[in-house]
Structures are given as structure tokens and as C-alpha cells.
Amino acid sequence: MKIICIGRNYAEHAKEMNAAVPTEPVFFLKPDTALIKDNQPFYYPDFSKEIHHEVELVLKINKPGKNIAVEFAHKYCDEIGIGIDFTARDIQAKCKEKGLPWEKAKAFDGSAPIGQFINKNKLKEMNNIAFHLTLNGNIVQQGNTNDLLFSFDTVISYISKFFTLKTGDLIFTGTPEGVGAVAIGDRLEAYIENEKLLNFEIK
């Protein structure tokens, strides 16, 4: 399976990164070795001094598809979860400076913790899903899919022009504003609406 992540999909986050708001989806990949499941801890890597949390809704692809039309895209995902797109911001800044690829900053081991998935039918409307992240009990990021620059359907359709989507692939759909550093000993808890679906520690 593969993990596809959308960058800058919430305008307020693009602003806080001093990045332009994109006119078409920006995406990058993480390998399966980035996954952390079952609320296992994240081990702070020694190559970075600035790991940031980016809480994101995650789509699970339920069947193979290529060149998926926007109007059929919703049929390729039944389950939605929440995850963290951990980013080594110090390394990312260096990569950006030199115009180099981001993988070292984005795709390292453990950079994609994911929580439990829930059936889409449990949520009222895809374009009005509230989610948030707490750090040691305090809310640090809050988002709602009504602020998405590119909807879930648009993102699925767009990605599938370039990559065949396969069953089990995951799409991280972008982070709202409020990204920030984590430290050893921190506890991160992520919620869709009021349901806690992810809860783990930084070690």
C-alpha cells in the first residue's frame, strides 16, 4: 500500500507557512514504514530537533481505480480516519532552501500515525466534518472540511490521474492551521467530531 499526502489544502495553514495557496492539489508520498498503528508511541528521531504535528483526516481507499471521475470518487472510500503527518520542519526548511525533495522531512519511519477508522455513513456531510488535536489535553489544531481548498472527491480524482489507487491506500487530506512542535513525553489525542480515534505518546 501507499500513503499519499496533500499539502496546503487549508488556506490558513498555507498562510502560516508563508506558502502560496495552490491552484491544483499538491501531493507527496510516504512509504508503509511511516505508519504507526494501534496507538503505539512515536519515537522522536535523532536527526531532527523540530518535529511538528499536522493533524489530518485520512481517507482509506476501498477498491482499485485510475482516472477516477470526480462524480464517482466518493465510491472509492467508505472509511475515514485521523492521523498525524509528522514533519521534520528543520529538515524541510533546508530542503526547501535548496529546492530538494521533501522525503527526508516527511516520509521517515513513524511519520504517519493513524487512528481507528469510522464508516463514512456515521458522518452527516463530507463537507462539514469537524476534527481536532489535543497536545497534553489542550486543543492545538481544529479544522473543518468546509475549509478544504480541494474536496475529498477532487483529491481522489486528481491523484488517480497519476497513480493507480489500490485497496488499502491512504490519503492524508491536509492540515489546518496551528501546526507546532512536539517533545518527548507529550501525549497527542485526535478526534473526529467528538470521537477520540487516536491517542499516543511521544517517546
Q: Per CB under 5 A, which region of 79-87, 95-103, 120-128, 177-185 contacts Zn ion?
A: 79-87
Q: Which residues pair with 148 in a beta bridge?
A: 10
Q: How many residues sit close enough to Zn ion to count as binding (CB under 5 A)?
A: 3
Q: How many CB atoms lie within 10 A of CB 147?
A: 15
Compute the distance between CA of residue 84 and CA of residue 75 in angstroms, rounded to an integer: 25
Q: Which of 85, 153, 169, 189 binds Zn ion (CB under 5 A)?
A: 85
Using the rule CB under 5 A, is 169 a contact of Zn ion?
no
* Binding span for Zn ion by CB under 5 A among 37-45, 46-54, 58-66, 141-149: 46-54
175 binding Zn ion? (CB under 5 A):
yes
User: Which residues are 6's β-sheet partners?
Assistant: 27
Residue 82 beta carbon to Zn ion: minimum distance, rounded to whole angstroms: 12
Judged by CB, which is closer to Zn ion: 54, or 169? 54
Residue 101's CB is within 10 A of a number of other CB atoms, namely 11
Nearer to Zn ion, 19 or 69 (CB): 19
Could you say which of 13, 14, 54, 148 contacts Zn ion (CB under 5 A)?
Answer: 54
Report whether 58 contacts 80 (CB < 8 A): yes
Residue with cell 477516477: 68
- Of 21 and 167, which CB lies nearer to Zn ion in the complex structure? 21
Q: Which is nearer to Zn ion, 54 or 189 (CB)?
A: 54
Pick 85 or 153: Cβ nearer Zn ion: 85
Q: How far is the CB of 72 from Zn ion (least distance, A)?
A: 26
**Could you list the residues that contact Zn ion (CB under 5 A)?**
54, 85, 175
